Amino acid sequence: MAKITIETLKKIISEEIQNTIREGANEDSAAALASSASKLLKAIESFKDAATEKSRVDMGSHVDEIEKILKRIIASPMQYVDVPKPAVQKVSLKPAEKLI
């Protein structure tokens, strides 16, 4: 059975902490995105109330499609958050020092 060195364990713990911090940032981004989408949806509803017949015809079904997209974003904002790619890590193929 392979043994884990202290350094390897520290590295694993550090990576898990960094992943947890990134996930927290993603949740903040998702909340901000949902809030912005909600505001935009309300603005579109206000526009539709004030729109003239010519503007409705000119807009066509585009406004309806945008409303559907915004409702999906509000329902599940985490799916629309950009996740940064993790930094490339170099791997060493040197054998680990044996612990006594």
Rounded to an integer, what distance in angstroms lies between the CA atom of residue 20 and that of residue 12? Answer: 12
Rounded to an integer, what distance in angstroms lies between the CA atom of residue 62 and that of residue 43? Answer: 15
Extents of the domains making up the chain: 6-78
Evaluate if pTM is beyond 0.85.
no
pLDDT tens by residue, 10-49: 787 777 777 666 666 678 888 888 999 999 999 988 888 8
pLDDT of residue 70: 93
- Lookup: tokens for 15: 């990576």
- Please state, as a whole number, how many other Cβ atoms lie within 10 Å of the Cβ of residue 77: 21
To the nearest whole number, what is the mean pLDDT of the chain?
80
Res 96 pLDDT > 90? no
pLDDT tens by residue, 49-70: 888 999 888 888 888 899 999 9
